[in-house]
Structure 1
């Protein structure tokens, strides 16, 4: 955060109309204050996710998430507690935390109810995990955990992961490998080495996907997670994977389990953080931008070709 900014004021990314990255602006607003049961976090980093710009693209979608204008932007954050309201236990000024603040995380300060539901929460950041990394956990980590739980991979499984190099994919690939499964991940030809480094065997997406997967895994594919649309789902069906062991996150198809972060098991996020702190799971940061470059960062995110995560520094 800028050293010159008084703690009574806050920069925040806001939008006054729904649309694309061009509607986002950095505004100076009164800093929110922590009330009873709340903590205020001085945000140092905010991770971007596709849902951030999907939620704010049009009024109908925004309304489904309870958003109205003017709205903030971004959900994942990491930073340091700087105010603690009455009746709060377990948090003190100076504590490093991460969590979710639905569509208001890209700001110098966020006020959180630590006992709140998902996307209004704070968790202690483990030692050894930097704030940029912690700012990527909440949505992608929870979503990957829920998707893995839906197909329950284990030793002997071969899992096809569609969109394996994206923000959720980097978590899903590594978690599936930790569970003992073989992972085949779809991506562009240019992402092959990146996917190998994550532990996936790369296969290019597009027409003929099922044939390319069949050549890689003549013994068959037993589960699939489609993190992008339906191409991986259709390829998995063509390869004989039963619908009960296919999961989508970006679309709903009758008979196929759909997962999102809200479905994640209690403690899933803390487990992700522990795995990162222990060096067992890594989160590639594709790029970081100062908050003043929010347009550029969001355009890159919305292009859906990023390998890993994009983070805003505050």
Structure 2
């Protein structure tokens, strides 16, 4: 089968498509899946670039974790979250530990959720990391109906899912994004503002009664705006600025435990039309370098998906 690997840290150009052996026959709770769609994430870029400390930095390495596909074969103990047997032909979605950007992947059944039949493959293959990260961040601050949240990178995948889930809980969300993305924010019920100097003043104008929480998905600017607006550190959550977490004592979901049950709930909400994950581009496997180049440009306008 074909798989994407890299043999050194670096930019998109280090990625190469190689032929590797098919996964071994699954045993116990293992499942082999034919991959239909893989959503790529900023974290994948950070790992490939050498920006994330690794316990086992051996090469060659696979890349990406999220995927959706069709079960080829399953071990005798492989079951869905509801306890039913996983069988060949079942459509599933989930995450891989050693890299999902390949034609076949083998994972444990606990890493899989059933894909609703009506859910588009591109969304199913992209939902895991941004969806579960958004839920973990919401739970970290226990966002509810009395909250007004300042959200950075609101047009990004985590941001747009976070906002929809927060609004569904009854919260008000003020989101930062470039002006070209403000219509996207409004379409999802987010009150838009721009990033840059004067952010705290712009938030005061939008929410004169104040905000109750900050969700930072971009960096220090939003953290500092929250502190300037008088929020205590434990009402500011960041998923990216580890320096600010250490310096100011703000909170973070950290290395949260992924849940196939939670993923299944998100997938059903997406299938029902209650949760939207915008898809910007779908690339074939042969154009993996182009896909990551677009991701790193910061101007994709939605999720980037690779269809092996």
TM-score by length of 2: 0.92
Structure 2 partner of 1:151: 141
Structure 1 partner of 2:226: 236
Q: Offset at 1:240?
A: 1.3
Counterpart Cα distance in 2 of 1:130 and 1:29 = 28
For the pair 1:288 / 2:282, whether they are aligned, the reply is: yes
Structure 2 partner of 1:211: 201
Render the CA deviation track for 1:4-60: whole Å, top value 9, x for unaligned: xxxxxx1111111111111001112221123312110000100000111111212x7
Structure 1 partner of 2:43: 51
Q: Offset at 1:67?
A: 4.4
Counterpart Cα distance in 2 of 1:36 and 1:170 = 38
Q: Offset at 1:220?
A: 0.6
Segments of 5+ residues of structure 1 without an aligned counterpart are 1-9, 116-120
Do the aligned partners of residues 129 and 260 (structure 1) sit closer, same or farther apart at CA in structure 2, a change above 3 Å counting? farther
Q: Offset at 1:310?
A: 0.9
Structure 2 partner of 1:5: none
Greater displacement, 203-212 / 295-304:
295-304
Check whether the contact 2:151–2:216 (CA below 8 A) recurs between aligned residues.
Answer: yes
Structure 1 partner of 2:117: 127
For the pair 1:177 / 2:172, whether they are aligned, the reply is: no
Counterpart Cα distance in 2 of 1:11 and 1:20 = 21
Structure 1 partner of 2:93: 98
Matched pairs, number: 298
Structure 2 partner of 1:109: 104
Q: Look up the SS of the partner of 2:109 in the other structure.
A: coil
Q: Offset at 1:151?
A: 1.5
Q: Look up the SS of the partner of 2:164 in the other structure.
A: helix
Q: Look up the SS of the partner of 1:63 in the other structure.
A: coil
For the pair 1:273 / 2:267, whether they are aligned, the reply is: yes
Check whether the contact 1:42–1:108 (CA below 8 A) recurs between aligned residues.
Answer: yes
Q: Offset at 1:133?
A: 0.6
Do the aligned partners of residues 189 and 138 (structure 1) sit closer, same or farther apart at CA in structure 2, a change above 3 Å counting? same
Q: Look up the SS of the partner of 2:299 in the other structure.
A: coil
1:188-207 to 2 correspondences below 5 Å: 188-207=178-197
Divergent runs of 4+, >4 A: 263-266
Greater displacement, 66-75 / 265-274:
265-274
Counterpart Cα distance in 2 of 1:54 and 1:206 = 24
Q: Look up the SS of the partner of 2:67 in the other structure.
A: strand
Q: Offset at 1:108?
A: 0.4
Provide the alpha-carbon RMSD of the alignment.
1.7
For the pair 1:225 / 2:219, whether they are aligned, the reply is: no
Check whether the contact 1:166–1:305 (CA below 8 A) recurs between aligned residues.
Answer: no
Counterpart Cα distance in 2 of 1:145 and 1:306 = 23
Counterpart Cα distance in 1 of 2:151 and 2:299 = 15
Check whether the contact 1:224–1:232 (CA below 8 A) recurs between aligned residues.
Answer: yes
For the pair 1:31 / 2:22, whether they are aligned, the reply is: yes
